[in-house]
Amino acid sequence: MDARRLIPSVERVLQLEAVKSFSQVYGRRLTVEAARQALEQVRQIIVQTGRILEEEEILQRIERHLHTVTTASLLPVINATGVVLHTNLGRAPLSEEAMAAASQVACRYSNLEFDLEQGKRGSRLIHAEKLLCQLIRAEAALVVNNNAAAVLLSLAALANRRKVVIARSQLVEIGGGFRIPDVMRQSGARLLEIGTTNRVNLEDYRSTLEQKPALFLVAHRSNFKILGFTAEPQVAEIAHVAHESGIPLMVDLGSGALLDTAEFGLAHEPTVQEMIESGADLVCFSGDKLMGGPQAGIVVGKRALIEKLRRHPLARAVRADKLALAALSATLLHYLKEEATQKIPIWKMISLPVDEIYRRAWAWTEKLSQLGIKASVIEGTSTIGGGSLPGETLPTHLLAIRTKQPQLFLRKLRENSPPIIARIEQNLVAFDPRTVLADEEAPLLAAIESLREFIL
């Protein structure tokens, strides 16, 4: 007899008490699909091996399928890598206040596009603008969904079918393979490249004036450095040449620093405020890099230019949502209240004294020692990441564990709930306390304890 005739029908499986309980938890639609998937697997196993699965095995397959389908793919993870702005791990974690602000407008109605004073339709574009202008001392501001969108919108509104002057040394590629020249072309702007890959001077900018460009663009190299025989004018000098001929200067700053990174032992990263003070008419930057807020693209500068951006049809396509606007406003308030290093997670991490990191790493080793797990503390470095401050590092201390198979141990950590992302240093599995949040310490140590069989 053909063994496949012994396979129960979907309807028969659905009548089993265990499957009925699955329907109550997951809904009938998903349960029916899971039953069909499980029975198809049974059919394949019979064809390939001749083995007939027991009822209990079928139920396990149904439940496993339901769990897989209904488990979110986007999960919180513990970042123990020491990379503060880890692009693959979501960049900047938000402050508690920013999360609370987003939550408040997420679960109820809000005045996103309603003027409470006038009692009629308003504009979402005003939210966060006042705070940005006050903080940066710019005439106007506009928030969109990311910095690439900010650059695209600015070029489309100000230079469509017209020339934009940019130095060859600034034709950079950003994350995900997106290149500044490609973004510029999509806007309809025509590139007018000047200088060489390593040297550009003011005369290069002046030589373009007779071609009547629409815009001068300076793209800050936030994710790499050019060293050696190099030359490039200051933004203030470029602004002077541009303004002599009535040409706007736009700066794509990228990382969006609002604090002086040199105060924390890092190289100086140009701040948004400095660009405005140097004469930039527009500055574009990210909200989720060195600002430490939600994903957003921010444009600040001259009111007349910002108004052109607001009126452009593309502005609606790239607008920021209510959650980003709420979280961004709360983040900006931290800067205005001069509490960024106490409230914004990435700045708390960057400003964390190395002695405090050392004490925390040793506290971890002592807790693990009490559990019979051998660990040590070694010196290391943390990096900023996120396409910011290339080559810059901060001294740190790492919790280090010797394991039988480091790569296997890393994989087991990733399979933990919550997943833990660590790194290998000196052939040891290393955990950097700088990027581990306080409430993540207990689950981190518990995960290490659960893997004691792999530890030497």
pLDDT band per the 50, 70, 90 thresholds, residue 357: very high
Reply yes or no on whether the pLDDT at 383 is more than 90: yes
Can you tell me the mean pLDDT for 47-60? 81
Reply yes or no on whether the pLDDT at 273 is more than 90: yes
- By DSSP bridging, strand 393-401 and strand 376-385 are antiparallel
CATH of residue 390's domain is 3.90.1150.110
Specify the pLDDT at position 1: 47
Reply yes or no on whether the pLDDT at 178 is more than 70: no
- Pick the last residue of a domain from 343, 372, 402: 343
Specify the pLDDT at position 49: 78
Angstrom distance (rounded) from CA 456 to CA 444: 18
Task: Determine what percent of the chain is predicted with pLDDT higher than 90.
Answer: 78
Same domain, 148 and 234: yes
> Cβ contacts of residue 34 below 8 Å, gap of 6+?
22, 26, 62, 63, 65, 66, 69
Same domain, 224 and 297: yes
pLDDT band per the 50, 70, 90 thresholds, residue 44: confident
- Pick the last residue of a domain from 343, 364, 384: 343
pLDDT band per the 50, 70, 90 thresholds, residue 58: confident
Same domain, 174 and 238: yes
Angstrom distance (rounded) from CA 258 to CA 274: 9
- Weakest-pLDDT range from 77-86, 141-150, 194-203: 194-203
- Pick the last residue of a domain from 343, 368, 394: 343
Same domain, 328 and 186: yes
Same domain, 318 and 353: no
Same domain, 434 and 409: yes
Same domain, 295 and 373: no
Query: What are the distances in angstroms from CA 355 to CA 270, 359, 365, 432, 434?
Result: 28, 6, 16, 13, 11
Reply yes or no on whether the pLDDT at 227 is more than 70: no
* Partners of 371 in the β-ladder: none
Same domain, 50 and 189: no
Reply yes or no on whether the pLDDT at 55 is more than 80: yes
Specify the pLDDT at position 376: 96
Number of structural domains the chain divides into: 3
Can you tell me the mean pLDDT for 270-285? 97
Same domain, 378 and 448: yes
Q: What angle do CA 386, 389, 393 make, to 5 degrees?
A: 100
Indicate the DSSP class of residue 262: G
Same domain, 338 and 351: no
Domain that holds residue 236: 94-343
Same domain, 230 and 137: yes
- DSSP state letters, 189-226: -EEEEES-SSB--HHHHHTTGGG--SEEEEE---S---
Reply yes or no on whether the pLDDT at 451 is more than 70: yes
Q: What angle do CA 223, 228, 230 make, to 5 degrees?
A: 80
Same domain, 370 and 334: no
Cβ(217)–Cβ(250) below 8 Å: yes
CATH of residue 171's domain is 3.40.640.10
